[in-house]
Amino acid sequence: MDYSLKFESLIGQTLFDRLSPARQDFLRRIALEYRFSHQEVRTLVEWDIDLSMWQGKSLEQYWNQFQALASGDRPSQKAKVLKSLSEELGRLKNTPREYRDFEANYQHRPRTLVTKTSQQDKIFGACPVASEQTVCCNLYTIDAVKNCGFSCSYCSIQTMYKEPEILFDADFAKKIDAIELDPNRFYHVGTGQSSDALLWGNRFGILDAMVGLARRNPQALIEFKTKSKNVKYFLEERDLPKNIVCSWSLNPDIIIKNEEHLAATLEERLRAAEQVAEIGILVAFHFHPMFWFDNWEAEYANIFTQIQSRFRPEQVAFISFGTLTFPKPILNKIRSYEYNTKILQMPLVPNPEKKWTYPPEIKKLLFTSAYNAFASWHSSVFFYLCMEETRYWNECFGYTYSTNAEFERALGESSMAKVHSRLPESVATAVEVSGAPA
């Protein structure tokens, strides 16, 4: 087959259309000259997209630079230039990313709110990323809303739903009322897995339904995980059950500005947490994902200091740490964005579940630094790693849990003790329940 025809066939299986016309012309020209294989074309397209999104030198600039240094015939030149490019991409990924002078150029994409009725759609179940390969808390999740109104560049929710649509279940309240939990065991139930838990407020009665679930099940901890500042519902309600916790995913403002588009600022999130804590609602904080970037240690240390100065340990149910973990489809999803992001400018290695994440030495550095910063709270606040291997617990915390059920039980005992401390003594005794079954 004529190579020009073969090339057109090869690019159909790549993100070639994501390249600008000038970048397409350049890649087509060097492909015709060097006769790239299918894998080489795919790799060069991905490198070109990554370099463009990181706002560094272009693939064409690097290619011309390395080609000028490569001697020999065409096959030899190709091998040398590809090797040099691979080494340069590796160097960039293994250097903490900088956001100085970076412009994400994010453009807001309008969303459509859709309600539908479907008896087949289940809203309650085990955490979709629970695994025996990692130490997991056996979280249960409720899909109050499907798809998110924020645009965090690293979020895997974006691969799960039709992008412009935010789906509300018309039968949500009925489905919540039908949930039957064992009254004699602890449950940790979260609503922040398929969408932000508080962004939508009480639209279509979703918070009323969730609070009702908490009221009927005092043995359960109902968590609302968010990156928003929308706590109006809780501030206006005067008869809230004590077994709810509002939690915030936190990152430095430099990350929020460039990678967590449309979400509340760091100060807005902390102030919202203060507001609910002041009226007696438990709060929690998730540093998940943590990022390795230029000046990361000082940026995170500032947040850790703020938390310990603005909150008392008895107001905080738990604090978690975790890092970026990508299923393979999200990598190409990120490369398809029409704005810039440095999310993929990071060293990527497979974890036991064959998902892509930071290498062990970076994880250990992030987690150890964070956990040590809260040393004075270790005995009064529950800390955990989310979806991480046993080794990181031992290396960063100095302990681990032998089973996921043991982890769940420990989280439940710690959290429910703080719930009970907010109840009259007679009521607290009545709602004491056992931990998770072994």
Q: How far apart are CA 12 and CA 321, in angstroms?
A: 40
pLDDT for 431: 47
pLDDT for 230: 98
pLDDT for 386: 93
pLDDT for 129: 76
Q: Which residue has the tokens 């807005």?
A: 268
Which pLDDT tens digits describe the chain residue by residue (438 residues)? 699 999 999 999 899 999 999 999 999 999 999 999 999 999 999 999 999 999 999 999 999 999 999 999 999 999 999 999 999 999 999 999 999 999 999 988 788 888 877 667 788 988 877 777 788 899 999 999 999 899 999 988 777 776 778 989 999 999 999 999 999 999 999 987 889 999 999 999 999 999 999 999 999 999 999 999 999 999 998 789 999 999 999 999 999 999 999 999 999 999 999 999 999 999 999 999 999 999 999 999 999 999 999 999 999 999 999 999 998 889 989 999 989 999 999 999 998 888 999 999 999 999 999 999 999 999 999 999 998 999 999 999 999 999 999 999 999 999 999 999 986 654 444 445 444 433
pLDDT for 26: 97
* Length of the chain (residues): 438
343 SS3 class: coil
Q: Interhelix angle for 328-335 vs 38-54, to 10°?
A: 60
Nearest to 191 by CA among 146, 224, 233: 224
Looking at 219-359, list the stretches that DSSP marks H as alpha helix, in order from N- to C-terminal side. 232-236, 253-259, 266-278, 296-310, 328-335
Region of 113 please: left (phi>0), alpha (psi -120 to 50) or beta: beta
pTM reported for the whole predicted model:
0.93
Class of domain 112-430 (CATH, top level)? alpha beta
230 SS3 class: coil
Sign of the torsion angle spanned by Cα atoms 318, 324, 325, 326: positive
Q: How far apart are CA 409 and CA 412, in angstroms?
A: 5
- What does the domain layout of the chain look like in residue ranges? 3-93, 112-430
Nearest to 136 by CA among 397, 324, 320: 320
ω before 289 within 30° of 0 (cis)?
yes
Radius of gyration, CA atoms only, the chain: 24
The count of C-alpha atoms lying within 13 angstroms of the C-alpha of 226, restricted to the half-sphere facing its C-beta, is: 24
Backbone angles phi, psi at 245, to 5 degrees: -135, 130
Looking at 120-265, list the stretches that DSSP marks H as alpha helix, in order from N- to C-terminal side. 172-177, 206-216, 232-236, 253-259
